[in-house]
Structure 1
Amino acid sequence: MKKIILLLVILCLKQSAIAQNPKIDSLRIILKTRGVPDTTKLKTLNIISWEYALIDDYKAGIQSANEALAIANTAPASRLILDQRAAAYVNLGVINYYKSDYNRALEFYLRALPIMEEINDRRGMGATYNNIGMVYDDKGEYTKALEFLLKALKIREELNDKQGISNSYGNIGGIHYSKGDYAKALDFHLKAVKIKKEIGNKKGLASSYSNIGIIYDDKGDYPKALEYQKKSLEIKEEIGDKKGMALSYGNMGNTYKHMGDYSKALEFFKKSLALKEEIEDKKGMASSYHNMGLLYLSMNRFPEAKLYQQKGLYIAKEIDARPDIMKGYEGLSQADSAIGNFKDAYFHHRYYTMIKDSIFSEEADKKVVQSEMNFEFEKKEQAVKLEQEKKDALANEALEKQKMQRNGFIAGFLLMLTLVGVTYRSYRNKRKSHEIIALQKELVEEKNRDISDSINYAKRLQQAILPSEKSIKENLNESFILYNPKAIVAGDFYWMEVVSNNFVCIAAADCTGHGVPGAMISVVCSNALNRCVKEFGLTEPGKILDKARELVIETFEKSESEVKDGMDISLCVINTDTNEVSWEGANNPLWYLKDDVINEIKSDKQPIGKYGQIKPFTTHHLQLHKGAILYLFTDGYADQFGGEKGKKFKYAKFKELLLSIQNKNMSEQKEILNQTFDSWRGSLEQVDDVCIIGIKL
């Protein structure tokens, strides 16, 4: 699969190359200018080296990088000189990788790493770990490949390097594809696509589309495979990426072969091979020969099938690409068997089996899984450490606050004694009495202000856990959220998490109580939902609620006293492309409006929290048409007292109201619901928090 290699240069070098995009001839003029400092020469030679690599002139690219090294190795050591020396080694590594000379590529990358460590170039180290991982991937050493790719991902996440993170996701997806785990591969590639779209990385996006197309091809979904390959090819043609175009041609050839359109497949394989020969992509050539050999085998042209497999195997051995060597022996075994040369077929099949076992051994699989587990463990351990540091800081802050409160109490107590003494001595002095009363009033008002400020700060904290209106509209364009807390802070909350480009989780939740206690519980419950999706990777509503219940109970069990608090919830997972809806509720139902009728799916009668007889939650699946409306809500709207007789609004009236406004747009529906609620409540106190979510598919 297509691998992503990053050029490693310092920031200013990147900015120069990207912003000005100078031609090689004009760069050469800078080198000929008299009195040019060594640092300028180094930067210029490294840019020239990379420009040659981009146009596939590898010989000239290597020459320019070696010229840069000659200067860097003799110039007085400085951070800038060391940085450019590392950049030259990386350029040599990248060019040799493109030439499929993997051992030379590794040699240069491993020379660059110690220099980067010496100057603490974390971004460069991340990119170089990534490049080393790609070399081991092409060599079929997947355990080592994953080890270096996870090192790269860790650094990039620490630096919040979005482009680097997206590249790492794509490359890790490639490892899982090679291991045959298509679900994991697709998951990582879709993560990569999301980030690449955000940052406008066209070349990376084209690569991800190509990889996704290959996965769909292997799954037998050929129209989907061609769709993604064509999307990839369009971008590659636009940016002039010959290596990428060759890959796309080859991938499309494979898909046409699987569809039985052999003439079309041969046409694309030949296009792919011609480009690979032009840019001297040996690994690509080996792959093309292998693919064409398999195609000729399917066409019953057995001598040609064997010839092309031999060509591919020869190149694969030359560059030590074990996966391609394995495929070559397998192809030769099949060709010999078809010809009737069973002795050679057996011989080649034995070699195929030996190499396959060395690549895909059970021990190697365990090491791949262990590498991922170690990475996740270190990541969680770091998160726990940061969380503990935050808790320690909050504890210290609370301790300081207690000291201040104690000192304030002592000072206030002494002041009170003084005031009592003064009052006793001059109780007949009315003016003095009035001053004392005024002072006491001021103290009470100040205390009230402090309490109010604390609650308002708690409101800001609670608002931080709620998804922004902008993010909701980006993912669910036709929707509204009516959110009216009873107090400044609330026990009700709404929650959303985007799983992939077209899967959105959204919920309306009602925690025990309202005000400050309810708000505190809402933070615990919201965090549990986040962990279910982000940490445990759950996307089925029933499974999410099962795990959330477990996490909430686990959190409250840390208390010495028994805590039975929790939440009621209505949770949907929506496929925005197909309008498929998965739903489950804890004590709160789902209403959906279809063909002028409001239908109801009843919830499981148990909360998210400690409960007498706990049962697994059940996921419900719906296939709805465009225009259907979902309503998720808590009980605050229907339970509000009001009207002429001061009675509850009730669910029947709530349902009638929704039916009467079904033809309004979602913003108008929200406004009507809000006005109706205020009108019904009148001068009466609001009895509970209100949260209603409306979503038009």
Structure 2
Amino acid sequence: MKNIFFIAFFILYLSLCHAQDRGELLARLQKSNSQAEKVQILEQLATISKQTNQIDNAISYFKQALDLTDESGSVTVIGSLCQKIADLYLQKQEYETAVEYALQALSLHEKDKNNQKVADLQHYIGSIYKKNQVYEKAIEYFQKSYQYYRQSENIELQKQVLSSLSETYYLNGQLAESEKNYAELVNLAYASNDIKTETEALTKIAVVCTAEKRYEEAIHYTQELSSIYEKNKQINQLAFTQQNLGYLYRQKGDLAQSEAYFQSAIATFEKIKQKDATILSNIAVTYSMLGNFTKSQEYHLQAIEIEKKRNIPEDLADKYNLVAANSLLSQNPFQALQYANQAVQIATPANAYKQLKDSYLILSEVYNRQNDFKAAQDAFKKADEYSKIIENQATKSKENLQKKRIEAQERESDLLLLLSEKEKQSLALRQALLEAEKKEQELTLLKKESELNEANVKNQRLAKERAEQQLRLAEQLLETERQKQQILTLNQEKIMQELALEKQKVAQEEQQKAIELERNRNQIRNLQLKQELQEQKMRERFVYLGGLAALLIMLIMAWAIRRSNRQRKLIQEKNKTLEKQQKQIQEINEELRTSEEEIRQNAEELLVTNEQLESSLRQLSIQNEIIAAKNRDITASITYAKRIQHSILPLPEQMQATFGEYCLLFRPKDIISGDFYWLRMLPDNRILFSVVDCTGHGVPGAFMSLIGSNLLKEIVDEKKIYSPELILNELSKGIKYTLQQEKTANRDGMDLAIVLIDKENRKVEFAGAKNPIVYVQNGELFYLKGDHYEIGGNTTKQDVYYTKQQISLPNDESEKTTFYLFTDGYQDQFGGTEGRGFSIRKFREFLHQIYYLPMQEQERLLAENLAQWQGKTRQIDDICVVGFRV
């Protein structure tokens, strides 16, 4: 009581102190004129609000501080404020807003190229997405963060982000990736002697192995954990590890070991004076499986007493259901009825639908055993109702989670665009401010220049006025001097003008005389030139006419000589040609005479030969009719055999009911086929399916297909052998025995691929005799080879043992995996421009190109691609390709 009073008083004292501090800070905030000081005060107010759990007030103060911090502020300060706001929204579980502010901080540090801070924030954002169950985005940011941390020497940060990444892969159902990353974490922890991290990672690997029902591996890792805990004397953890080993051995079917480990766990808990309801329930279930129902009930009731103290309705109802089931198994339905009804009473107010479903299933079985069938039916309907509620909740949860993931992706994209737009606006604003400052500086400079120019202009004006005054005085003096000079000049000019007029008269007279003399000389010169030109023209005309006449005479003579020579040559050539023709005619005449003799002889021989051919043709016609009749009989028989062979193949309705959507390309080379496909739906709803390629094709291949089909039916339906590799072992023995291959030279056999599809446990088991399987999962194509031994046909007398390979299906049933089983006919078909085989590589690539299409469309494309490749080349083998989705 005193302690409670002291705590209450202490809390009251702290709140009063904070109230006083807040009042002082608010007063300082109102008085302050410094932006930096205001930011500091607001941060202090936010911190006080956070400490007193006033989250909304803290957010408000931090946002005010963020608004006051302008773009020129420190990236560190702005980023820190954004992350503090994100922390508060995370505390309020408002994950979307937390991501918004964290992304703002990340954007700032990315621009600042602070890689360490960027990696820290990527890890932080990944953690927010993980808490919000948006696992794909969480994985994306954890991977980015880990890429940086791997390059650094900070092992602690590497371990932290790797742990987050591994756990997120597990939560997202990517168990293989989770296990791989946990294994890397184990190595890092071991190298740094970090036992805590090492044991946590080993525990998670064991959990992954258990989820995939790899109990041997889970036991190995759990035993390794047990050794570490025992060595370090971690008793509590050791007890839980022993409990886990008990559970794993029970799942494996080793009940003796299971009991031993549960007892060890109980003994270990007793050392630390603790009891654990889960361990008690587990050992109770183990005793129940061993048939010791009394011991089982003893431990169940101990577990119930512990759960009553914990007061968790779901767990307590579970324990009552377990003890009710144990009572039912021990043939005590009355007791089972009591415990199941108690479970219903506890689970109903808590809406514990799973526990209610289990309770009503137990009640239904109890009423059945008491022959109260109406009550049994009512209880079963109740169980079915709760089962549907659970399914609807799971479906709704999946839909909400998917919606949340899509919205998170869209919101992040929008936010990044908004941040980018804000950055552009910020840059534009800074640019505008710079431009404004630049213009202001230019205006200041212009103003100063203008003032200087005005002063210069004023000085220049004064200097100009002084210069103009001096100029006017000088001009007056010059004017006076010029007037005197003009008077002297006028007198001199008058005298000079008179002399010039006299000279001009004398010069004009002499010029007139010279002109007349030159005119007479030119007339004499022109007359002489005319006479010389006429004489020259006469000489040229005479030479031209004489040359032309000589040229014509020479041309006529040359033409006459050339014509004479050509005629002479033509006559000589014609004479030679005639001589040759005469010789050829003589030779042809001799050949014709010889040919006539040969033709007469050949004609006689042809008459004889024609008679013989006509006789032979009549015989061939009769034989052809016999052969045609036999061919019709054989074809009819083979066609009937085709009907028989098709009757052993699964019907389209069976294929449709089993796989839903499937594609089938079945092309016998010669009417009936050595290839066949085989299907069985097992009693436990598992599916066996096989595609088989028998030795040969046509009739021999068909015989082998009948033998193979019958042997498969015998192995599965009669011997109840369902595991693919064991089926192949038995089939190989059966072929050898049926064809007496150990006593004869017969070496016929078959190649095949067979799968066992287990939808409930989300796995497919595969075994192959020379034939592979191709499947596409999450867009990636996988190719598993079969063993290198065919079924039967080998020369060794020793039995061959085939191996099994396992393919895990996605936990989400909506994520389909596409499988292809096929014979070698498609890939070996000749064709193309070079007449080569299509090849398995091209076939795999083609399947990868079409896998996402509807199955009917895939079937059409497979046929079209084969026809295009084959062209006019004949089909060389039977072809069978089957595709389906699981």
Q: Under a length normalisation based on structure 1, what TM-score does the superposition of the two structures give?
A: 0.40
Q: Which has the higher contact order (CA 8 A, sep 6+)?
A: 1
Instruction: Kindly name which structure, 1 or 2, has the bigger radius of gyration based on alpha carbons.
Output: 2
Q: Under a length normalisation based on structure 2, what TM-score does the superposition of the two structures give?
A: 0.32
